[in-house]
Structure 1
């Protein structure tokens, strides 16, 4: 999918960050710890768009408890993270989910196209 969007050739930096569920606040993987880790990483790379893959990442970055189905298909400003003013978040399915549910790949493609639109400069 990255190849089809021409994001694989290195001219557009693509950074990956994994998240894990924690048991208590402050443990690695807890929402607070994920926010802190994401903030440090995001400020260093200054993204224009963040693709949140899976419900855990989407809910954390969009600051919502809604299911992934309600978070997909729109962009949300990435507020409250220093160094990424003007960036937005697009939610999509986790790659492991897509391997188990290939029928949802078309929806994931639509999400990637939405993210690519946010990344691309607007024509004059």
Structure 2
């Protein structure tokens, strides 16, 4: 049985204006355990909370959020030609799954991982205040 391992390494945020901040970093995705790759295999869904980003209080409006990701490197099986890439990337502020107040920045998408893939990400957050 295989499992998806996800690790995120954020870079320091870039504050463009008092209401606009850009969060960047690397998401490392790897398949652990038994590995089977197919040309027709669907992309694997991934999702991770972005560390070191302050939550949005429940009583504040949702910030505007734009997300993008790109492939930095891949680790494939010995038989090449399998797809590798990222698609359907999005970010939003979600409730903390541990409970509590506030919403936390979450990045998700789908990726054709092979054995492993490193994705660069950029999330632009614009608040109203």
TM-score, normalization by structure 1: 0.28
RCO comparison, higher one (Cα < 8 Å, 6+): 2
Structure in which a larger fraction of residues adopt helix: 1
Structure in which a larger fraction of residues adopt strand: 2
Q: Of the two, which has the highest radius of gyration? A: 2
TM-score, normalization by structure 2: 0.27
